[in-house]
Amino acid sequence: MELPERSRVSPRILFDEAVAGITQRPGRSVLTALGTVIGVAVLLVVLGLTSSASVQVSSQFSLVEATQVSVTQQVPVGTSVRTLQFPLDAEARAERIAGVNSAALTWNLLDLSATNPPGTRSIQPIAASPGVFDTAGAHFSQGRAFDGGHDGRAARVAVIGSGAARDLGITDLSRRPALLIAGLRFTVIGIIDDTLRMPGLLAGIIIPTGTAHLLWNDPTPESEAQVILDVDPGAAPVVGQQLPLAMSATTPDRFSVALPPDPQGLRASVDAQLSGLFLGLGAVCLVVGMIGIANTTIVAVIERTGEIGLRRAMGARPRHIAAQFLAEAAILGVLGGLIGTSLGVVTVVVVCASLTWTAVIPPLLIVLGPLIGLAAGTLAGIYPALRASRLEPVDALRS
């Protein structure tokens, strides 16, 4: 007995039928592909902006955080220490180390407060050596910083941050405004409006360490005394080894050095956290697009029930019907992926240009865009294709 020849449909015919099915309803096809377009575009945008943002974060970290080293004095638990033994020339000692650009000794004057005679707020002042402004990368909107001369003669001068100036009501230095610290008059000679590091200076009142030492002695353990250094890139580990000896050749173990974290490790951490967050958001958008494709394709199957019945009556097998609808969904997914990738690239470039960032889009992401669209369209079309293949010819023709 001779078996009947198995029915076959060539890929070319299947493709032509799928294209014909798509072009017969162009409006609906556009709306069907729109879900994939949006999903792929959002996915590429968030991943592209994540890559661009991580580069900016890494760049800023390399410029600022990777060049900052600080040293504090350790106070053993259970010991009674009335004053810290930080050398007042700690700034000069630190700057003698190779690789150190600038250094500053700072501590909080805990039991004191600064007020402006006509003002209503009081602010805790900070004692700092003259190098604090170079170390912090401070920018002055008015006036100037105090220098070694002010520090050496214990001058009663102060530099204030923009936040402290606003709280104290000091807006103009032309009349040499003054503020009171513990009842003593200090002349304001400068206002800081921005810093690269040590942002606490913007809300603080800074006076010379020589003045603070003469009037109120050395810092206490609670005053958070520290030396902050601006070092050359890559010099932090070497500088950190030499700092305790520079502070005290006899008891270097009293001092604790804080080094910046590894730049590569930080960048990898930032990349992982941002990529994970935005990848999840992009995946959600893509799933929403897939649901839209599936819903629209199911509606198309219902409306084309008569066509399906006619094809079945003319000899088409269930797998042919399923393959046709699956091919239509896959083609729409690929088109949506291509358009979404293009829109995503344009969006990333425009956003980065507006923020003066360097646009970073991994080439693999551009290649994966259409493939993601293909996968999304194919997955979204599986259920409608199976539903179409299960329609019986008689029932389909009757409907």
Secondary structure (H, E, C), 139-185: EEEEECCCCHHHHHCCCCEEEEEHHHHHHHCCCCCCCCCEEEECCEE
The mean pLDDT value for 292-308 works out to 74
What are the C-alpha distances in Å from 49 to residues 149, 224, 286, 348, 360?
A: 49, 39, 17, 6, 8
Q: What's the mean per-residue pLDDT of the chain? A: 79
Q: Tens digit of pLDDT for each residue in 84-94?
A: 567 778 888 98
Query: What's the CA gap between 78 and 62, in Å, rounded?
Result: 39
Q: Tens digit of pLDDT for each residue in 67-77?
A: 888 888 776 55
Q: Tens digit of pLDDT for each residue in 11-45?
A: 776 677 667 767 776 766 776 677 678 777 877 77
pLDDT for the residue numbered 9: 63
Among 47-51, 102-106, 193-197, 373-377, whose mean pLDDT is lowest? 47-51
pLDDT for the residue numbered 206: 95
Q: Tens digit of pLDDT for each residue in 230-254?
A: 988 878 888 888 988 888 888 888 8
pLDDT for the residue numbered 185: 92
Q: Tens digit of pLDDT for each residue in 105-121?
A: 999 887 777 766 655 46
What are the C-alpha distances in Å from 291 to residues 20, 86, 268, 339?
A: 23, 66, 34, 19
Domain ranges of the chain: 11-61+265-398, 86-247
